[in-house]
Structure 1
Amino acid sequence: MANGVDERADQLNRNCEIEDAPSTFKAVVWQHFGFPVSRNDKGEKQTNKRQIICKSCRATVAYNSGNTSNMRSHLSHHHPEKLRTQQPTVRKMPKPGQLTLTEIFGAPLPPNSPRAQEITRCIGEYMAKDLRPFSVVDNSGFRRLVNTLEPKYAIPSRPYFSRTVLPALYQETKAKVTQSLKEAECISITTDGWTSRATQSYITVTAHVMTSEWEIKSFVLQTRPLFTSHTGLNIAKVLKSAVLEWGLDNNQGIAVVTDNARNMDVAVREAGLSPHIKCFAHTLNLASKAGLNVNRASRLLGRVRRVAAFFHRSSTATAVLATKQGMLNLPAHKLIMDVVTRWNSSLDMLERYLEQQQAIAATLLSAEVRRNAREIDTLEPADITDAEDMVRLLSPLKKATTVLCDESRPTVSLIVPLKHMIEQSMAQCDEDSSTIAQMKRAILKDFTDRYQGEQNKFLQESTALDPRFRSLHQLNDSQREDVFDRLKLKATQMQNQNPSETEGERAHDAEEQSPPSKKTALEDLLGESFSEEVHVAQHNTGIQAEIDLYRKATSILLSDCPLKWWRDNAKCYPLLSPMAKAYLSVPATSVPNSKHRHSGWNPDWLKMPQFKNWLYLTQHGYSVMQAFEPTVIMEHEAVIGGSKKQLSITQNSG
């Protein structure tokens, strides 16, 4: 029969003796079945373990050791009431305080357990670091991910993250930052204005800190909306607020790096910050745009821009271009459209066009594209030559911009060498075409007048304190001597403003060891003025000796880190090294200031009610985002390290 059941209800089975199953068989169905027992010729009892007999109907059922399926099938077909009335197996009750397996592996994590708190904190950091909205905890995909990683964890609600988790992270981070502010030795700031995709204006302030271990760390101090006009006075209020809020008003001579806009000159002057350094990347941008705006270069860019725009809006042309690229063994690159505010995008557009010019020409001549590209022409051979010359001319400027964005090494000391290199490369040559000659004149005219007066002196001094460029080969002998004379004077002023604790301790120890001898009448009358003159003479001799030793040392390689050199040799230059730390902490550009603009952050995401103390940790340190009231766009704040021990850098003509 089906299910391996062989039922025989004859008279023999009805009289057959049945042996109950052993007590170790726990299945409930064994209450209704047993093993048939027979007797041999000697009357000995024999139990058949291959069959079982139903106690109700005496039917024989095949039995495989350990399998009760046939028994359940028999009961369900012939005695269903037996299954309904069968009693469940009595479970052994656990001892008091003993957890069951279900409780151990299936119980949810208590919210206050270390594991749950750790996961909640990580979700809060994920929201802040990756700029995710609080609603992410309600997304089905995110909840499924968390449940897969930890099924016992229950995700808290959105209000819990906005009112508890993020504020706690903010306070924790702010405490660490406050400590960093006290410990930092040197600090400078950069500031820049920008506009979001929602056409809201913002002012970002970034701080750059030099630690005691000669490491540069950069942190966004704050990003705040500017609802008023971008006048110098309004920007000055933002700078003053940032300085006061983070306790930087106790520092003297905070260097500020901004773009070349005139309102920034007014803002820095009104905020009482100095020295004021113009962003070298912005200077390169202005000079390069001046070169690209000459008539022939501008027309050439316009023709390339029309070609790129055509391929961007035509899916047919793009598909044909991909086919031609494969046939010509060219890289499968799309054409690039330049951006008005980024001159290097125009260079990228030219480079990509020159790379793909064969594929572009073949595509524009194809039947599928030609009828829709009647006004699109490829470049003539003379235009191609000019484009190649333009790329060669502007490539060093693009490399210079890339070098300036290194936040781990000092960059302010690069301005003078790079400026000199660019001015040399813009010299006229007989081989220059008329287009290149015009571009060189335009770039040089815009570039030469930058960095004059006290600003230029500061940059020269920064370059002199960089062991890579200490020879100052860009300057003549008289200019080099003037630079080191100014450094000598500023080192003396710095030493007078910040006398070393070592000298004080040494004097204190001397007083304890031997009492001062009795003054003579002459010492009593002229002792103070004479002692001051002797001290100044000794100090000047010390700084001069350090400068001479420093200038005689061999310059390090361009690939070497100047901060590492100073860290290893600071003890040899106790008067010069603090100056180097103060100068080299200043960045050459405010470009890192705007990196977060391109990270996908849309400030409109942050128009959330009850949104406060949004924190995220950047790759360089701590960053804090703190919101206004719900009706105001939040402000993105990052906390930084600074110090009341800031070394002053005063501009002195010497």
Structure 2
Amino acid sequence: MAVNIIPAPSCFKADVWAYFGFKKKKDSDFMDKTLAVCKLCHTSVKNSGNTTNLRAHLKRHHPDKVMLAEELHRDPKQTRLDSDGMFSHKLPTTSPRSQKITETIVYFICQDLRPYTVVENAGFRLMVNAMEPRYQIPTREHLTKVCVPRLYAQTKAHVKASIDSAERVALMCDGWTSRTTEAYVTITAHFINEEWELVNYVLQTTDMPESHTRQNLAEHLRKALTEWGITEKDPVIVTDNASNMSIAAAEAAFSLHVKCYAHTLNLAAQRALKVTAVARLLGRVRRIVSFFRRSTTGSHILKEKQMLLRLPQHKLMTGAHDMLERFLEQQPAICAALLSNVTTAEDVVSALKPMKEATQYMSKEKIPSPSVIAPLQDKLLNGLKPIEGESSVMKDMKAAIATLYASSAMDPRFKSLPFLTDNKRQEVYNGLVAEAARLSIQPLEHDPRHTQEDEAKEQMTRYREADLLEVKEDPLVWWKEHQYEYPLLSHLAKRYLCIPGTSVSSVFSTAGDIITAQRSALLPEHVDQILFLNKNLRRMWLTWSAE
């Protein structure tokens, strides 16, 4: 028997009403809304003013119709047709795919240093929509308040866990100024992990509007040690040669303070370049260079021999060397008439050459360890050794630079310490043996009369007798292969070779690029998060991708 079902009124907007209607009241033309009638099976379902009972009926008796009902009655703004003509709704923001795309966008912004407003750009939105039409692009506010902080917290947890496994952690601390003249201090961490890989992390970037006094810096360092759980890692700090940094490191109770070798070289070069005769010489050369830069004809003639004039502070010594060296190449043509003392220029170039080579070597390694400092110093001192009959300028430019012999001894490339006297060399080895025995926590299983110091001496003897590693080879790879052969010494190697030999880092050049015209209003908290993720997220991302 056919059942006459009246469609639900148009004011009933719920999707389930596509499958339900009403019967007429007995002896009346009005609908009986107390019972809804299923159009599929003609079953009457109690209507209580909501659609709970109706949905339950569909899920129990017609589950294949539930999804279609939802699609047909979805908000048109949230529904579109895909290439096959099928309905495709927007992805929920909590779906795995949506979350993965959002994380990728955050990675893109932090890794490529893009402004948060990129998600509002028409081109970016068009690209994302073409790749995944169902994805809902987050707003700029959602990125800054939710997405970036969430990824920052996840990455920070991974960094902390990685640091917890380190035997010793070395920190680098340096200040920088943004393009909006705001002062920041960035701290980075360096250690050797269980796989003998040198791991580097940016820990934090903090604005310091107050004066960079020793007390403020010391408090800043103490907070960082506590927050990252590094206090018990026998931390070492590497800074420039500023007196406030030196005192702050001492007040923060670091076990060792290493002064940046590159900065030491630069200070030595600057001091040398201030010698009266040298300053007068450079002034003359700069005036000549300035003439050729202003003269179109002169510039054309010397196009292939252009000289450096304005250089960043950290390249002052190398630039001065190169400028004078190129000037001397042109000497037959122009120096005779314009320069009164060519011999002085030759002396300065000769004096600066060893310092230039040392600077280039330190810059060549990704994170140079202090093990290279002692060999470089020996080369410098030999290169700057007084020569009979040399000019007074050369004698005025001699300078001494600090050394770290223990680090060189633990580097299989420089372990022979050829630049030291026999007595001094043996003193370094004896100190390392005593330190290895003191740090050892593994009991000896054989003869109890054979002490840890005896074991350390035997390992040192075998280590010294082993062939030297070539300078171009990686000392960490060597130690990974020989760590079980020299177990006591391998701990020392990790302690010394994790220390950067210079505080010069690409971190600080990147930091200056964060606050741009498009990001001039970034809060210090956001600067910290972006720089942290920019430098650390790649390692974490590779780990997560592997999982």
Give the TM-score range, shorter chain: 0.7 to 0.9
Aligned equivalents of 1:288, 1:105: Cα separation in 2: 72
Higher relative contact order (CA 8 A, sep 6+): 1
Q: Report how far residue 164 of structure 1 moved.
A: 2.0
* RMSD (Å) for aligned C-alpha atoms: 3.6
Unaligned 5+ runs, structure 1: 1-94, 362-376, 508-533, 625-637, 639-654
Other-structure match for 1:285: 266
User: Residue by residue, what CA displacement relative to the aligned partner does 1:478-508 show, whole Å, maximum 9, x if unpaired?
Assistant: 111111111111112112xxx12xx49x69x
Q: 1:166 to 1:351 in 2, by over 3 A?
A: farther
Q: Is the 8 A contact 2:456 2:488 kept in 1?
A: yes
Q: Report how far residue 615 of structure 1 moved.
A: 3.9
Partner of 1:621, secondary structure, is helix
Select which of 431, 435, 438 maps to 1:493. 438
Q: 1:572 to 1:278 in 2, by over 3 A?
A: same
Select which of 278, 282, 285 maps to 1:304. 285
Q: 1:607 to 1:589 in 2, by over 3 A?
A: same
Aligned equivalents of 2:314, 2:156: Cα separation in 1: 35
Aligned equivalents of 2:535, 2:428: Cα separation in 1: 34
User: Residue by residue, what CA displacement relative to the aligned partner does 1:153-210 show, whole Å, maximum 9, x if unpaired?
Assistant: 4432111211221122112211211211222222111212333333332222111111
Aligned equivalents of 2:111, 2:428: Cα separation in 1: 44
Q: 1:258 to 1:266 in 2, by over 3 A?
A: same
Other-structure match for 1:204: 186
Q: 1:107 to 1:140 in 2, by over 3 A?
A: same
Aligned equivalents of 2:81, 2:209: Cα separation in 1: 62
Other-structure match for 1:521: none
Matched residue type, 1:346: G
Select which of 338, 359, 362 maps to 1:380. 338
Q: 1:587 to 1:536 in 2, by over 3 A?
A: farther
Other-structure match for 2:204: 222
Q: Report how far residue 588 of structure 1 moved.
A: 0.9
Other-structure match for 1:396: 354
Aligned equivalents of 1:141, 1:352: Cα separation in 2: 50
- The percent identity for this pair of structures is 33
Q: Report how far residue 603 of structure 1 moved.
A: 7.3
User: Residue by residue, what CA displacement relative to the aligned partner does 1:354-397 show, whole Å, maximum 9, x if unpaired?
Assistant: 38859996xxxxxxxxxxxxxxx997365555445433432332
- Aligned pair count reads 462
Partner of 1:614, secondary structure, is helix
Matched residue type, 1:553: A
Q: Which of structures 1 and 2 has the bigger CA Rg?
A: 1
Aligned equivalents of 2:160, 2:134: Cα separation in 1: 37
Select which of 318, 337, 342 maps to 2:310. 337
TM-score (norm 2): 0.74
Other-structure match for 2:165: 183
Aligned equivalents of 1:202, 1:610: Cα separation in 2: 9
Matched residue type, 1:484: Y
Other-structure match for 1:442: 396
User: Residue by residue, what CA displacement relative to the aligned partner does 1:232-260 show, whole Å, maximum 9, x if unpaired?
Assistant: 111101110110111112223x1111122
**Pair 1:136 & 2:118 matched:** yes
Select which of 417, 421, 424 maps to 1:472. 417
Q: Report how far residue 135 of structure 1 moved.
A: 1.5
Other-structure match for 2:252: 271
Q: Report how far residue 103 of structure 1 moved.
A: 6.1
Q: 1:279 to 1:577 in 2, by over 3 A?
A: same
Aligned equivalents of 1:303, 1:100: Cα separation in 2: 75
Q: 1:543 to 1:142 in 2, by over 3 A?
A: same
Q: 1:165 to 1:536 in 2, by over 3 A?
A: farther
Q: 1:265 to 1:599 in 2, by over 3 A?
A: closer
Aligned equivalents of 1:169, 1:360: Cα separation in 2: 62
Other-structure match for 1:347: 320
Other-structure match for 1:68: none
Q: 1:341 to 1:412 in 2, by over 3 A?
A: closer
Aligned equivalents of 1:166, 1:124: Cα separation in 2: 6
Q: Report how far residue 101 of structure 1 moved.
A: 5.4
Q: Is the 8 A contact 2:206 2:524 kept in 1?
A: no
Select which of 408, 416, 430 maps to 1:463. 408
Other-structure match for 2:385: 427
Q: Report how far residue 145 of structure 1 moved.
A: 4.4
Select which of 509, 514, 520 maps to 1:601. 514
Select which of 561, 568, 579 maps to 2:474. 561
Aligned equivalents of 2:200, 2:336: Cα separation in 1: 46
Aligned equivalents of 2:88, 2:523: Cα separation in 1: 35
Matched residue type, 1:552: E
Q: Is the 8 A contact 2:354 2:384 kept in 1?
A: no
Q: Is the 8 A contact 2:373 2:501 kept in 1?
A: yes
